[in-house]
Amino acid sequence: MRTPPRALLTGLAAGAGAVGLLWLVQAAPSFRLDALFATFAHLTGLLAAYGILVMLLLMARVPAIEHGVGADRLARWHSLGGRHVLTLCLAHAALALCAAAAHGGTDLLGAAVGLLGYPGLAAAATGTAVLAAVGATSARAVRRRVRHETWRAAHLLTYLGAALAFAHQLSGPDLAGGLLAAWLWTMLHTTVGVLLVWYRLVVPVRQALRHSLRITEVRTEGPDVVSVVVQGLGLDALRAEPGQFFRWRFLDRRLWRTSLPFSLSAPPRNDTLRITVKACGDHTRRIRRLRPGVRVLATGPFGALTAHRRTRRKVLLLAGGVGITPMRALFETLPGAPGDLTLLYRAGDAAQLVLRDELEAIAAARGAALHYLLGPSDAPFDPLAPRALRHLVPDLPEHDVYLCGPPGMTRSATAALRRAGVPGSRIHAEHFTF
């Protein structure tokens, strides 16, 4: 089962509407200042609590959601939604503080001291502070300066912040007075908690024990590029599809702490999986020094850049740099007659082309078109300009387009494809970032 993006957004919006309705039926109209502050504190608090659950659900790695929406889109929604949720949390705290100050006729500091005397409110305040700290580490200026492992460790505190806030929610006036509302709210939290534990803990451990993955080969593909072949037991049960990726943890002394996302660069076969990695940081450089026999933990598969996105007979695959890896797997496996498939591969020069021999063999065997778009990104001629794309693929608006590459290339290519007449609904992209 795959959950389409629109269906997921509709469901989440309906949930937010239900939360708003819960607030509305219990709101007591009043023009007193303390009552107004308290009323809107209740609304922002309920929406913030619901928003935290949504953020956790988006990152729970539920296959139906991951495969239908796509991991990259979920990550973007999570990042954008997290800012709004944190704003709601801070607004709730500020409005509750103002309500207490107005009701007690005291200043904000005195009201804060009084509120923190209640254990539930103190826990909620601590949870809000934890979430604010996590949000600060996710700011671009901060994240660029911290190690990935540090950022991930800090992000795990989100669970602590959510847990601290939960007790306060049940004791609040919107839930404490209604047995049904409290039961539904508890079940909602329990469901999300079970999904998190199951898909982020139980399933990865079960896969590791069941499939017993080990590296069988590390092969040089070009300058700073290697392919890693991993073999295991019963890999058909993973149901991995071309275009998808796994999160890989290599149990090597220098790499075991980090989970690295890499796409499959070949279709799964004979209980083997293959990834192709370009050295662009400390971790990816260490992969070149891995040796056969190293054990591997692989969580997945993830991603929605698969044949299920296809809506047209003709398909254009557009890759940039090492973003060729999922495109190469799709190039081999997407159904199509001679002339139905076209692959455009953007690279700085011929030396940067990865898996070239394999691509040319696939093109020859399938009667597919293969074009290399070479040249620096700042060259006067842009091979991804709308006119250039229409020249290479004259009936471009009739194609589905699969796109994978660095963020800048993906954005410019998407804009060019739209100007060339390809509807946005038929541009299927995953943003390659590492």
Tell me the per-residue pLDDT of 335-364, one tens digit each, with 9 for 90 and over. Answer: 989 989 999 999 888 888 989 999 999 999
Q: Which residues pair with 405 in a beta bridge?
A: 431
Q: DSSP 3-state assignment of 319? A: strand
Token reading at 78: 């999570």
Higher pLDDT, 239 or 168: 239
- The per-residue pLDDT of the chain, averaged, comes to 86
Residue 176 has pLDDT above 90, yes or no: no
CB contact burial 340-363 (16+ within 10 A = b; e otherwise): bbbbbbbbeeeebbbbbebbeebb
* pLDDT for 149: 66
- The alpha carbon torsion through 193, 196, 201, 207 (nearest 10 deg) reads 130
Could you tell me which of 280, 249, 285, 243 has the C-alpha nearest to residue 265? 243
Mean pLDDT of 425-434: 73
Q: Residue 119: exposed, middle, or buried by beta-carbon count in 10 A (0-12, 13-18, 19+)?
A: exposed
* pLDDT for 434: 41
Please provide the DSSP assignment of 181-240 as one string: HHHHHHHHHHHHHHHHHIIIIIHHHHHHHHH-EEEEEEEEEETTEEEEEEE-S-GGGG--
Model confidence pLDDT, tens digit, residues 218-236 = 998 877 889 999 999 999 8
CA distances from 147 to 144, 233, 297, 395 (A): 8, 34, 21, 46
* pLDDT for 177: 54
Model confidence pLDDT, tens digit, residues 2-35 = 888 899 999 999 999 988 888 887 777 777 887 7
Q: How confident is the model at residue 172 (pLDDT cuts 50, 70, 90)?
A: low
Q: How many whole angstroms separate alpha carbon 30 and alpha carbon 95?
A: 16
| pTM passes above 0.85 | no
* pLDDT for 346: 92
Residue 331 · residue 264 · CB < 8 Å: no
Residue 187 has pLDDT above 60, yes or no: yes
Percent of the chain with pLDDT over 70: 94
Mean pLDDT of 124-130: 81
Residue 156 has pLDDT above 70, yes or no: yes
- The dihedrals phi and psi of 47, each to the nearest 5 degrees, come to -65, -35
Could you tell me which of 42, 37, 50 has the C-alpha nearest to residue 25? 42
* pLDDT for 116: 75
Could you tell me which of 92, 75, 103, 176 has the C-alpha nearest to residue 127? 92
* pLDDT for 175: 58
